[in-house]
Amino acid sequence: MTDRTDAAIVLAPQVVTVDFDLAPALNALDSLVSLIRIEHQSSFSEWVTKTAAALTPEQRHNHKLVFWGLSHLFYELDSKRFPTFPAFIDHLAAQDAVRMRDEMVKKILGYQSKLSEYGIDATPPTAEALLSDVNVYLAWISKMYMDEEVDVTYETELFSLLADPEKAKNLIVSHMRDMWNEVMRPEWERVEPTLRSTIAAFEKLDFGGMTAQEAVRAVTGREIPYKWVNKLNAVNWITFIPSAHLGPFLVILGSNDNHIQIMFGARMPKENIVQPSALGRSELLVRLNALADDTRLRILELLTHETEICAQDIINRLELSQSSASRHLSQLAATGYVTERRRDVAKCYSLNEDRIEETVTALSAFLKKR
């Protein structure tokens, strides 16, 4: 897919049907994935931060292997249809290991299309070559990571697991069971009532006549990321799934051409907020956390002087690496402090002054004596 400018978006938005789902298996799965995402992003919930820090070295190592390196073996399976996370684990245990491994190899080799979006000409190896030669595997993984350094020891262990699909599947199943029993189950029991309350509150609202962009804004408090605008303008049904641990980020999952699921950090509708709640404090903490970083404040300060600045200019002016700039800009966009758009092939950003004023007002109201 080639990059498009905002002016090239031609799909007219249509009215969508909106519903909500708890999706227990998918929710637990994404919470566990967040224990790895926190190494690359911040602003996740306090539970994610504390749980990730409390993992033993062996747990952390296995968690990274399973939920980062081997995640394509399970993450796109239809986890939404399972009533519980243990039921999903049982389903994985019954899968054919070789078929799972082969599907993951397809995902790895299919990364060529993503590289093409960045203008990188990369011809993938064959599946046979990828699985039979560790040097071929490492060379392709290096291209996938682009400018980021590859952990050769870690990737070599992943290569050995791909070469032994039964061992890979057994690691996934056993580690997931351990993490559910030791970490995730008590947390799920704690947050499930809050998530159900979130769904109940939103289900009382009228989303009739809304377009996808209007529905996303109303439910999540965020604008649709520009790269998803065309996709969401084409659907007529959105299922929203609240998460207790996702913070300001969105996870967008496609089911078919007409239906899409969006996971969002659980929040109460503005219409329902009459007094401070745990959920309100959580959302405020996410917003303040995004501001509690010198680099992000420097980016915002830079944007106060110009209407719009593209990512490469921010990188050059603040002397940041591409990966560091991407991480910080992603968090600022997720919390709504900057607006992101595509201009030709560049990502460009502008300051969202309304969001900053809204955060200051929310903090003032939260701390006001009653």
Q: Are 359 and 340 in contact (CB under 8 A)?
A: no
- 193 torsion bin: left (phi>0), alpha (psi -120 to 50), beta (else): alpha
How far is Cα 13 from Cα 229, in angstroms, rounded to an integer? 9
Q: pTM higher than 0.85, yes or no?
A: no
How far is Cα 274 from Cα 98, in angstroms, rounded to an integer? 54
Per-residue model confidence as pLDDT tens digits over 139-163? 988 888 775 678 899 999 999 999 9
Per-residue model confidence as pLDDT tens digits over 208-220? 999 998 999 899 8
Per-residue model confidence as pLDDT tens digits over 52-107? 999 999 999 999 999 988 887 776 556 567 889 999 999 999 999 999 999 889 88
Q: What share of the chain is helix, strand, coil (3-state, %, to 5)?
A: 60, 10, 30
Kindly list the structural domains of the chain, giving each domain's residue range(s) and its CATH number in brackets, ordered by start. 9-270 (no CATH), 273-367 (1.10.10.10)
The residue ranking higher by pLDDT, 200 or 340, is 200
pLDDT > 90: percent of the chain: 42
How far is Cα 216 from Cα 200, in angstroms, rounded to an integer? 17
Q: Are 280 and 259 in contact (CB under 8 A)?
A: no
Per-residue model confidence as pLDDT tens digits over 11-48? 556 899 999 999 999 999 999 999 998 877 777 788 99
